[in-house]
Amino acid sequence: MFPHRLTDSRAFEIARALIEGFDRHYRLFSETNLAAKARFEAADWHGQQRAQRERIEFYDKRVEEAAERLQREFQAGALPMDVWQQIKLHYIGLLVDHLQPELAETFFNSVTTKILHRSYFHNDFIFVRPAVATEYIESNALPSYRAYYPQLARWRATWRTLVQDFGLTLPFEDLERDIDDVATELERVLGAFTPRANFQIQVLSSLFFRNKAAYVVGRVINGFQETPFALPLLHAQEGRSLVIDTVLHSEDDLLMLFSYARAYFMVHMDVPSAYVAFLRSLMPRKPRAELYSALGLQKQGKNSFYRDFLYHLRHSSDKFRIAPGIKGMVMLVFDLPSFPFVFKVIKDYYPPQKDTTREQIKGKYLLVKTHDRVGRMADTLEYSNVAFPRARFDDELVAELQKFCPSLLEISDRDGDGEVEVIINHVYIERRMIPLNIYLQEATPEQVAAAVVEYGHAIKDLVAANIFPGDMLWKNFGVTRNGKVVFYDYDEIEYITDCNFRRVPPPRNEEDEMSGEIWYTVGPKDVFPETFGPFLLGNPAVRDVFLTHHADLLDAAFWQGCKERILAGHVHDVFPYEPSRRFSVRRAAAAAARTESA
C-alpha cells in the first residue's frame, strides 16, 4: 500500500501544480481586463489596443510555463498512464468549488497534450467532455449581474442609477439628455405595456471594453417579454466627458456587437460561464464557442467549438468536399455542407506570382488574430493534428490534399482502432460566407448595388484599422447572413503604414503609351490604386455603383491621407451599428428639420 500512497501523493502534487498554473494565468488575464477601465477613462486608445494584442499571448506563455514546471519537478513525460489518470481525478477534485472550472479543464488539456503522445488524447487522460458543471456558479465578491426594479414613474431615474453604478470617474457631457434618449427609444420599442410582477432590468456587472468604447449589456424583462439591450459609452468630442451614443435593442443588434469579425472584449468577470449563459439568453443563435472567444477566452472558444464539431460529426452523414468557388493559390479550402464553417490548409507550393512562404502566411493570420478586425475580417480558429474520419472525405478532396498539401497530411489508422483517419497537421477554421463574386452573380440589381456599397465600406473600415487587404478581388470577400461584407483572404495583407501609395506616372513617350508592359519602377511595397479598376469594374452595373460611392478608392490621395492620419496617432471610430442610430446624428437631423420648417 505504501508505494500506492506515494504515487497518489505525487499525482496530487502535480494536479495542484497544474491548478496553480491556471490560477496564475487567470489572475494576469483579469488584471489586464480590470485595467481597461482606467485606459478607457484616460482615452489611452493605443494602450488599449496594445493590451488586447498582448493578452492573446498570455495563455500560451502560461501553458509553456506549466509544462516546463511539470517536466522539471516531476519528469512528467516519463510518468506511467495510471499516474496521469490519478492526476486527472485529483484535478477534478480541486475544481469542485472553482469559479472557472471549464477554463481550468481546457488549461489541463493544453498542458498535458504538450507532454503526452497523441495516442493518449482521450477522455481517460484529458477532458474530452466537461467533468464539472458550470450551472449556478456565482461569485460572492462580484455577482454576474445586477437587477433593478423600476416603476413607470421612476423609469428614467432607474436608468440613471444603472449607469452611475458602474463608477466611472469621468463625468457625462449631459447624462439627463442621454438618459432621456435611451428611455424614449426603449419606450418606442417596448410599446404601450402594463408592468407585470417581474418587471425589471438586469445588467451584467462589468462593462465591456473594446477599442474606443465601453458597453453596458443587459435586458429588460416584463412578464413573458424580454428585450436585450446594449448602451455604447463614448468620449465626447472634446475628450473630457462621456456620452451614451445610442441604445441597441434587438438580438440582431447584439449579434453585430459580438460578431466573430470584431476584436475580443475586455471584461472583468469572476465567473465566465455565468456571463456566457446570460449572453446566450440574449442571443440564443450565438454559439457558446463564439461567446467565449468574444470575451477574450479564445482557447476556451476553440475547445468548445471542437466539442460542437465532434458532436455534429456524430449526428450527420454528409461528406467533406472541396469548397465551392474559385480555388485559392495558397490555400486549399474544404467544407462539410451541413456545418457552417470552412477548413483552410496552406498548400506546400504556390504559383510564381505568389512570392511567399508558409511561415509568412501563418504570420499574416496571426496579425489578424491580434489586430482590431473592425467587423470586416473573420476570426480564425487554428488547430494542429486534427483527425477526420476518412470515410467522411470525398475522394476528390483527398486527391487535392495529397497533391497540394502532402507535407501536412497523414492517412492511417494511427490509433490502432480500425478507423482510418485523415490527419491534417495544421488547419484554420472560419465561418462560412457566400463569396462576394458568387453573390454578385446571383443577386438582384438592388442586392448588387447594396453589396458593392458594402464592399467599399469594408475596405474603408480596414483602411481605418491600418490594414491594406492586398488582393482586393471580389472572391476574397464574403457576404454574411445579415448582408455585411467581410474580408477573409489574409496572405497578402499589409499595414497601411508600410505601403507606399503612388500615382501611375505619365508615359515618357508614345512607345511607353502603347506598350503592354509597365514603364516605371515598382518597389516591393508600392501600390497604385488607379490600377484597381480594370480588375474590379468589368461589370457596368458594378462600375456605376462603385464610382458613385467609392471612386476615392481609386485615388492614391485617399490612401496617402489615411496613412498620414494613422502615422500621426489618430485612432478612427468604427461603430458596430449604423451611424444613423447615433443619438447625436438624430438630434442634428431633428434640429435641421426644425430650422427648415421655420
* Dihedral of the alpha carbons of 10, 11, 17, 18, in degrees to the nearest 10: 160
Handedness of CA 149, 153, 154, 157 (dihedral sign): positive
Q: Please, are residues 91 and 19 in contact by the beta-carbon 8 Å criterion?
A: yes
In sequence order, what are the residues at sequence separation of 6 or more whose Cβ sits closer than 8 angstroms to the Cβ of residue 232?
213, 214, 215, 244, 245, 246, 248, 575, 577
416 Rama sector, left if φ>0, alpha if ψ -120 to 50, beta otherwise: left
Q: Are 226 and 200 in contact (CB under 8 A)?
A: no
Instruction: Please list the alpha-helical segments (H only) found in 488-577.
Output: 510-514, 533-536, 540-550, 556-567
- Helices 81-94, 101-115: axis angle to 10 degrees equals 160
Three-class SS of residue 433?
A: coil
**Phi, psi (deg, nearest 5) at residue 131:** -105, -20
> Read out DSSP for 174-187?
-HHHHHHHHHHHHH
Q: Rounded to 5 degrees, what angle do the CA atoms 158, 164, 166 make?
A: 120
Angle between helices 445-464 and 556-567 (to 10 degrees): 40
Kindly state the helix (H) or strand (E) to which residue 32 belongs, with its residue range: helix 2-34
Cell of 265: 472584449
The catalytic position among 379, 461, 489, 491 is 379
Q: Which residues contact 84 (CB under 8 A, 6 or more apart)?
A: 112, 116, 120, 125
By residue count, the chain amounts to: 598
**Helix 101-115 × helix 298-314 angle, to 10°:** 80
Q: Rounded CA gap, 402 and 322, in Å?
A: 13
Angle at 156 between CA 153 and CA 162, to 5 degrees: 125
Say if CB 159 and CB 165 are below 8 A apart: no
Q: Would you state the cell numbers that stand for residue 351, as one nine-digit string?
A: 504559383
Segments of 51-128 assigned E as strands? none
For residue 316, give the C-alpha cell: 450527420
**Residue 493 CB contacts under 8 Å (≥ 6 apart), including other chains:** 364, 367, 368, 467, 468, 469, 470
- Nearest Cα to Cα of residue 136 among 295, 237, 330, 274: 274
Specify whether 379 is catalytic: yes
- The rounded distance, in Å, linking the Cα atoms of 35 and 39 is 6
DSSP secondary-structure letter at 505? P
- For 432-540, list the strands marked E by DSSP: 434-435, 467-468, 477-479, 485-487, 494-495, 500-501, 526-527
Catalytic residues: 379
